Amino acid sequence: MEKLYINKNGLDQWFKQMIKGGSHVYAPVQGRDKVDFKRVTELSEVASDFVQTTQSIKKAVFPKAESLFSYQKSGKNVEVQDFDALSVSDKVLWKIRPCDAAGFASLTGIFNWDYKDKPYNTRLEKTTLVSFSCSKSDSYCFCTSVNGGPGSTVGSDIQITMLPGEGALVEVLTSKGKALVELSADSFEQLSKEIDKELYLAKVPVHFALEQVKEKLSVAFDSPVWQQQSERCLGCGACAFVCPTCACFDIQEDAKGSAGRRIRCWDSCGFSLFTLHTSGHNPRPTQSTRWRQRILHKFSYMPERIQKMGCTGCGRCSRACPVDMNILEHLTSIAE
Amino acid sequence: MIKLEVIMDDNKIEFEPRIVAFVCNWCTYAGADLTGTSRLKYASNVKIVRFPCTGRIDFMLILKAFANGADGIIVSGCHPNDCHYTSGNFHARRRWIVFRNLLNFLGIDIARIRYSWVSAAEGAKWADLVNNTVADIRELGPYTEYQKVANYMEEHHD
Amino acid sequence: MTKLVEKAASLLREGAVIKVIGYEEGSNKTRPFFCEKAEDVERLIYNGRCTNNLAVYLTKPELLGSGKVAVVATVPTMRSIAQLVKENQLKEEKFLLLTVTKEDEVVEFSGFKEMNDYLADIQLVIDTKEQELINKLDGMNREQRWAFWQQELSSCFKCYACRAACPLCYCSRCVVEVNAPQWIEPWASPLGNMEWHINRAMHLAGRCTGCGACSDACPLGIPIHLLTHKMMEDIDRDFGATFNNSGNVLSTYKVEDKEDFIR
């Protein structure tokens, strides 16, 4: 791991080189009321004063709808065109948060636990993650309760810590990160003095003990707490779609006559149709059974089965929820 | 999907509009038939889809026609008070008033959709309707704006 | 102890209702609250920040249970309830309707008719920010409007929060869930998004009560309530006020309906 320093001009130079090099750069941009990821070509477009974006940037490796393959029928023959790895562009995800970078580790676990998913892996290979450590947090954040933190470098290729009034500390963590830095090597300087990152990080209080939650969850399947917590849930997909680790998907067919393509698109375990069988039976018939599934999947099943956390504490689900199903509140009450 | 028929004539590109017509069986379809038997010539750009009544025409069909490459649309049925099923065209009329306003609000080009009442005896009116529509759409050009949206499958967002 | 809390407590203690659906304080905003025990009534609040439309829960029998349910309704919620009643979706004996006036007085309605009379005197008011956006759109030409809506609707990721929050979207099988034939693509794409929102607006024609829950619920802040709002305006102008018609605007007709675009 290498630590470097970069000043404001250097940052600008480096950014220009990235764009010139042909990478597609995605960064948080201020919209009408919300900050969200968009493709940018200038450093000035990037939003500066915000805690968290509305959506995660998982769509860079797991698009909201993608074509898995396409086919053309002619008589008895079928021509199939598989996913084209060459069509995927090089991407740089700029100014993501440590919780977002940690989310990629969970997604990689899901898409590789038995079958190595080609579209996902191809996209991830061509993506460089540049995270910025957090100097601010709000009441929805709880990264420190799920083994994360405002300065955690897990999953990042590069982490940048802005130093107020000066430039920034740049931690180069992987070979991908190193390659990105080399695009503009003279923008960087060696560190003249030790920089204590902790001084610039937000203070995110720990709200619950993860081990306690896991313990309580392992015996909570039949508890009435699910019913109580889920009464106001509307069963929309907002929480799953903004979440950096949710990867449930649906397979659909986009067919017209003799040609078509197989689509993979986002889905949510909160939808009532998610587990509906063709026989009409639904093993998760009520919103409470679906809410239970969501929590258990993220905090119990995923850690047990693929040794990855299903939640990074980014708080987006709670911010996006129309009826304030605050996951932090629910977990804290379960832990008690 | 090849849409433009390129006729190189002094470096000009001629475009043949593709029109879809949603018509009712009892009046307009019969009227169109009369146009044929009267040997009246009219533009061949139109593909006719026959319905039992204009009341059966779902508003989404208009959008589906555009998405599949239509540059213009004709919707036609019996005159008010003459509907074969008494009131189907009244329901259709209400539906179109509401739908047209909504489409206009979204910026969809409602000038490309022509509504008309053509009875079974109005063979000439049908020919005029088609010819006028084709000429107008030729002026407006292909509806590439809409087709771009229909063919776009984004790989990565924005 | 507010009058609302008192009322709720007495209703629950007497067994007049099995639960009171109202609002409580949540994290930085208010949220729906299902109060089943008299000890919990202190959590009930009612103020200008209570914007969720509670009528969306009234068409879910598994949530309501088998007894009488009290609903603390804001004016937008009451409008939605009125529309649901018109569509025969609510049984009068099942509900006890309450509202709270500006002076914090609790009003209990004896039935749906009394609630409708109460509503008849209240005007639908548009927020200034909303009106500005509407005026801006009205001032644009067609291409600009197309560009605006394409930009907004392309970011939609089909979470269907708008549908889930709308009290009038109570179909047990939504059109987008039908796959034989697949009328509207359920996945997110610019065309599919536009078709979905157009279809939803049309299915709400003459039924939307302007509560804005769809826009509030949208996690991406897409102003979809403007579509239904515009429809409401046009329908009111062309066919008479929505709430006074005996049937739905699209399932009835008048021989004298006027239009200027059919040749």
Residue B158 pLDDT exceeds 50:
no
Do residues C47 and C74 make contact, with C-beta atoms less than 8 angstroms apart? no
For Cα atoms C48, C51, C57, give the angle at the middle one, nearest 5 degrees.
140
Interface partners of chain C (CB pairs < 8 Å, 3 or more) are A, B
Do residues B19 and B49 make contact, with C-beta atoms less than 8 angstroms apart? no
Residue B153 pLDDT exceeds 70:
no
Do residues B63 and B33 make contact, with C-beta atoms less than 8 angstroms apart? no
Q: What is the pLDDT of residue C246?
A: 64
In sequence order, the β-bridge partners of residue C93 are none
Task: Give how far B11 is from chain C: nearest CA, Å.
Answer: 28
Contact A322 C189 (CB under 8 A): no
Cα separation values, A63 from A53, A245, C189, Å: 17, 13, 11
Residues C57 and C112 in one domain: yes
Domain ranges of chain B: 18-152
Q: Which one is predicted more confidently, C189 or C258? A: C189
In this predicted complex, what is the ipTM?
Answer: 0.90
User: Which chain A residue lies closest to C174 (C-alpha atoms)?
Assistant: A273
Cα separation values, B18 from A244, B48, B142, C28, Å: 45, 11, 8, 55
Helix (H), strand (E), coil (C) string for chain A: CEEEEECHHHHHHHHHHHHHCCCEEEEEEECCCCEEEEEECCHHHCCCCCCCCCCCCHHHCCCCEEEEEEEEEECCEEEEEECCHHHCCCEEEEEECHHHHHHHHHHHHHCCCCCCCHHHHHHHHCEEEEEECCCCCCCCCCHHHHCCCCCCCCCCCEEEEECCCCCEEEEECCHHHHHHHHCCHHHEEECCCCCCHHHHCCCCCCCCCHHHHHHHHHCCCCCCHHHHHHCCCCCCCHHHHHCCCCCCEEEEEEEECCEEEEEEEECCCCCCCCCCCCCCCCCCCCHHHHHHHHHHHHHHHHHHHHCCCCCCCCCHHHHHCCCCCCHHHHHHHHHC
* Residue C260 placed within a domain: no
Interface partners of chain A (CB pairs < 8 Å, 3 or more) are B, C
- Name the DSSP letter for residue B27: I
**Average pLDDT of the segment spanning C42-61:** 92
Do residues A251 and A285 make contact, with C-beta atoms less than 8 angstroms apart? no
Backbone conformation region of residue C63, classed left if phi is above 0, alpha if psi is from -120 to 50, else beta: alpha
Q: What is the pLDDT of residue B3?
A: 47
DSSP, residue by residue, C89-123:
-S-GGGEEEEEE-TTS-EEE-SSHHHHHHHHHT--
Comparing CB atoms, the residue among A31, A238, A266 nearest residue C161 is A238
Q: What is the pLDDT of residue A334?
A: 87
Residues C201 and C163 in one domain: yes
What is the share, in percent, of chain C residues with pLDDT greater than 90?
57
Residues C116 and C136 in one domain: no
Task: Give how far C187 is from chain A: nearest CA, Å.
Answer: 6
Residue B4 pLDDT exceeds 60:
no
Residue ranges of chain C whose CB lies within 8 Å of a chain A CB: 26-34, 52, 56-57, 62-63, 155, 157-161, 163-165, 177, 182, 185-189, 213, 216-217, 219-221
Q: Tell how strand B113-117 and strand B72-77 pair up.
A: parallel
User: Given CA atoms A170, A176, A178, A182 in this order, what sign does their dihedral have?
Assistant: negative
Residue numbers in A near C62 (CB within 8 A): 286
10-residue averages of pLDDT along chain A (336 residues): 89 92 93 90 91 93 92 92 89 94 94 93 95 92 92 93 90 93 88 86 91 89 88 92 95 89 93 92 93 93 92 94 92 86
What does the block give as tokens for C128?
């200034």
Prediction pTM value: 0.92
Q: What is the pLDDT of residue C79?
A: 92
Residues C7 and C116 in one domain: yes
User: Given CA atoms C169, C171, C177, C180 in this order, what sign does their dihedral have?
Assistant: negative
User: Which chain C residue lies closest to B115 (C-alpha atoms)?
Assistant: C262
pLDDT confidence tier of residue B7, bands split at 50, 70 and 90:
very low
- Range of C84's domain? 3-120
Residue C241 pLDDT exceeds 70:
no
**Average pLDDT of the segment spanning C222-245:** 81
Q: What is the pLDDT of residue C249?
A: 85
Q: Tell how strand A188-190 and strand A2-6 pair up.
A: antiparallel
**Least confident among A95-104, B72-81, C129-138, C198-207:** C129-138
3-state DSSP assignment of residue C176: helix
* Residue C197 placed within a domain: yes
Number of domain units in chain A: 1
Give the C-alpha separation, B53 to B76, whole Å.
Answer: 9
Residue C242 pLDDT exceeds 70:
no
Domain final position from C69, C91, C120: C120
Q: What is the pLDDT of residue C252?
A: 86
Do residues A167 and A11 make contact, with C-beta atoms less than 8 angstroms apart? yes
- Range of A67's domain? 2-335
Q: What is the pLDDT of residue B6?
A: 47
Suggest the residue from C133, C137, C138, C142 to mutate for an interface test with chain B (most B CBs closer than 10 A): C142
Q: What is the pLDDT of residue B1?
A: 44
CA nearest to C249, candidates B99, A303, A44, A171: B99
Q: What is the pLDDT of residue B157?
A: 40
Give the C-alpha separation, B48 to B66, whole Å.
Answer: 15
Give the C-alpha separation, A87 to A170, whole Å.
Answer: 31
Most distant pair of Cα atoms in chain C: their distance: 67
**Average pLDDT of the segment spanning C235-244:** 72
**Average pLDDT of the segment spanning C72-90:** 92
Domain B18-152, architecture per CATH:
3-Layer(aba) Sandwich (3.40)
Residues C202 and C87 in one domain: no
What is the pLDDT of chain C when averaged over all its residues?
Answer: 89
Cα separation values, B41 from B18, C74, C112, Å: 18, 63, 62
pLDDT confidence tier of residue B11, bands split at 50, 70 and 90:
very low
Number of domain units in chain C: 2
